[in-house]
């Protein structure tokens, strides 16, 4: 039986902090590995003072292998090329890119190190599944070491159109390396179309269907695999967690006010500052809701070593302070802005007790917070999802209130509509959204990609 080998920058190490708010990638892969045994390789999260070490632990039938990074590798690969170049470019923000040849070479160097660590572990029957923008070059590095295994790649973030991507120096060297994978998975049809156009226009590769390309005598396929959540399990978790002491304490502290929730790590792609301004506009236009609503924005700090993130934290904090200073009263703080991490159970309970959720990224590959919010709702009294049309999830969750996050006036109006939406409309919207989540459950996502990777003759159905 073929063994699955997962590779990602970060892994969920047992006993570590992954029980707190794990990212979408870790949540998705943990769910997949509940049903498949194999190896999961990634970065340990440690920066070695000397020679980087390799660590291995077996948990639940999964051999989790991690490698340290040296300080130069961490600076060049992680802080540098991954976060100062690829992250902004893939989110359409060429203006924030800070490219250097040293960091690009560091990115390639760490991809080569991952290949060196993985090389002696592989057997010819292993199925290898590589994840996300940190490891785009890994497939090529493995091929150069002689591995002919089926190797797939999944991009969890957006793939921009060619006229954006070609602004990246050395794009042709990096993106062409994707052609060493047998199957490339993307979140949406638009992302797949963008990659197809790049391969056709920049790599001069031909394709009859825009999804299958020949590269060096090998067939490379593109597929659309929207990531989901553990829908029914998360609903049961939310039902229990809504009665937990933590959630009861939060709800008691806001008295009988309606709760609006936002949950995002600190990042410029999330549109948090604009979202706060939209809530400010809502308060200005709807004085009847003063003292009657509380907006809770949970935003764990991330990438604090990068100066742009420190500046962003300052701007958001000042914006929240201005709103609270203008509209707040001794007994009411309109916005609660919390910079800490909560575990999935706590968030599930808060989602269930919230009248509305603000999920308004400026650009997102999928956005699992939107799906978790829907999954968490009480079907007999559901809340309302306000969702950016620029999140990948918007293509599936079109029964949400879709908004342009740049239009703070319109988002403010959507908040008012969500809080006053009639029960029958709320329930009808939630039923449609929940049905969509069940169709594209996390189990469906992982198994669809795995089966397509194992079976190259299998037709790739539309997502």
Q: Are 374 and 430 in contact (CB under 8 A)?
A: yes
For residue 244, what are the contacts with CB-CB under 8 A and spacing of at least 6? 345, 346, 349
CA 182 to chain centre: 23
Is the predicted pLDDT of residue 462 greater than 80, yes or no?
A: no
Report pLDDT for 32: 81
DSSP one-letter code for 253: H
Supply 259's token pair. 């709760």
What confidence tens digit (pLDDT) does each residue in 266-305 have? 999 999 999 999 999 999 999 999 999 999 999 998 766 6
Q: Classify each residue of 326-353 as buried b or exposed e, where b means 16 or more C-beta atoms within 10 Å of its C-beta.
A: ebeeeebbbbbbeeebbebbbbbbbbbb
What confidence tens digit (pLDDT) does each residue in 145-204 have? 999 999 999 999 999 999 999 999 999 999 999 999 999 999 999 999 999 999 999 999
Report pLDDT for 303: 67
The angle, 0 to 180 degrees and rounded to 10, between the axes of the packed helices 272-285 and 408-420 is 60
Interatomic CA distance for residues 191 and 157, integer angstroms: 9
Is the predicted pLDDT of residue 345 greater than 90, yes or no?
A: yes
Is the predicted pLDDT of residue 320 greater than 50, yes or no?
A: yes
Report pLDDT for 366: 95
Supply 198's token pair. 């790049």
pLDDT band at 99 (very low <50, low <70, confident <90, very high): very high
Is the predicted pLDDT of residue 236 greater than 60, yes or no?
A: yes
Supply 156's token pair. 């969890």
Average pLDDT, the chain: 93
Helix (H, G, I), strand (E, B) or coil at 248: helix
User: Which spans in 188-342 are helix H?
Assistant: 189-201, 231-241, 245-253, 272-285, 307-327
Q: Of residues 384 and 20, which shows the higher confidence score?
A: 384
Report pLDDT for 339: 93
What confidence tens digit (pLDDT) does each residue in 382-426 have? 999 999 999 999 999 999 999 999 999 999 999 999 999 999 999
pTM > 0.85: yes or no: yes
User: Span 305-330, mean pLDDT?
Assistant: 90
Q: Classify each residue of 390-425 as buried b or exposed e, where b means 16 or more C-beta atoms within 10 Å of its C-beta.
A: bbbbbbbbebbbbbebeebeebbbbbbebbebeeee
Interatomic CA distance for residues 426 and 262, integer angstroms: 19
Report pLDDT for 215: 87
Catalytic positions: 156, 364
Report pLDDT for 18: 43
User: Span 95-122, mean pLDDT?
Assistant: 97
User: Span 135-142, mean pLDDT?
Assistant: 98
For residue 360, what are the contacts with CB-CB under 8 A and spacing of at least 6? 262, 270, 271, 274, 275, 278, 386, 387, 388, 403, 405, 411
% of the chain surpassing 90 pLDDT: 84
User: Span 356-383, mean pLDDT?
Assistant: 97
Interatomic CA distance for residues 327 and 319, integer angstroms: 12
């Amino acid at each position: 039986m073929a063994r699955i080998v997962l590779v990602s920058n970060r892994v969920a190490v047992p006993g570590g902090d992954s029980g707190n708010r794990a990212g979408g990638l870790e949540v998705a892969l943990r769910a997949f590995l509940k049903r498949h045994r194999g190896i999961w390789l990634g970065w340990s999260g440690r920066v070695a003072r000397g020679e980087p070490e390799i660590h291995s632990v077996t948990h639940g039938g999964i051999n989790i292998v991690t490698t340290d990074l040296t300080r130069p590798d961490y600076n060049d690969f992680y802080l540098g090329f991954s976060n100062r170049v690829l992250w902004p470019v893939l989110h359409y923000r060429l203006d924030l890119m800070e490219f250097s040849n040293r960091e690009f070479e560091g990115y390639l160097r760490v991809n080569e190190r991952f290949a060196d660590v993985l090389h002696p572990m592989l057997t010819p029957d292993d199925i290898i599944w590589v994840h996300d923008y940190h490891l785009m070059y890994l497939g090529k590095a493995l091929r150069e070491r002689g591995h002919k295994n089926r190797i797939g790649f999944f991009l969890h973030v957006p793939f921009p159109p060619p006229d954006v991507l070609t602004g990246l120096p050395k794009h042709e060297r990096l993106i062409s390396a994707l052609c060493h994978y047998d199957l490339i998975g993307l979140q949406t049809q638009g992302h797949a179309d963008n990659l197809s156009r790049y391969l056709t226009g920049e790599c001069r590769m031909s394709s009859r269907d825009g999804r299958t390309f020949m590269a060096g005598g090998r067939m490379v396929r593109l597929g659309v695999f929207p990531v989901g959540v553990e829908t029914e399990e998360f609903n049961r978790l939310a039902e229990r967690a809504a009665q937990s002491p933590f959630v009861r304490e939060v709800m008691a502290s806001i008295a009988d006010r309606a709760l609006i929730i936002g949950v995002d790590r600190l990042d410029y792609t999330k549109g948090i500052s604009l979202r706060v301004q939209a809530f400010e506009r809502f308060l200005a236009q709807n004085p009847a809701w003063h003292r009657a609503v509380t907006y809770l924005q949970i935003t764990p700090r991330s990438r604090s070593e990068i100066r742009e993130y420190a500046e962003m934290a300052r701007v958001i904090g000042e914006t929240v302070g201005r709103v609270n200073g203008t509209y707040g009263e001794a007994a009411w703080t309109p916005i609660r802005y919390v910079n800490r991490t909560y575990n999935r159970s706590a968030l599930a309970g808060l989602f269930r007790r919230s009248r509305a959720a603000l999920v308004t990224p400026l650009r997102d590959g999928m956005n699992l917070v939107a799906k978790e919010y829907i999954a968490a709702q009480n079907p007999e009294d559901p809340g309302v999802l306000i969702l950016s049309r620029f999140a990948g999830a918007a293509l599936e969750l079109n029964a949400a209130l879709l908004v342009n996050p740049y239009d703070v006036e319109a988002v403010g109006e959507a908040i008012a509509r969500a809080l006053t939406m009639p029960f029958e409309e709320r329930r009808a919207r939630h039923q449609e959204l929940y049905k969509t989540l069940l169709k594209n459950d996390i189990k469906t996502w992982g198994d669809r990609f795995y089966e397509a990777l194992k079976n190259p003759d299998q037709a790739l159905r539309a997502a």
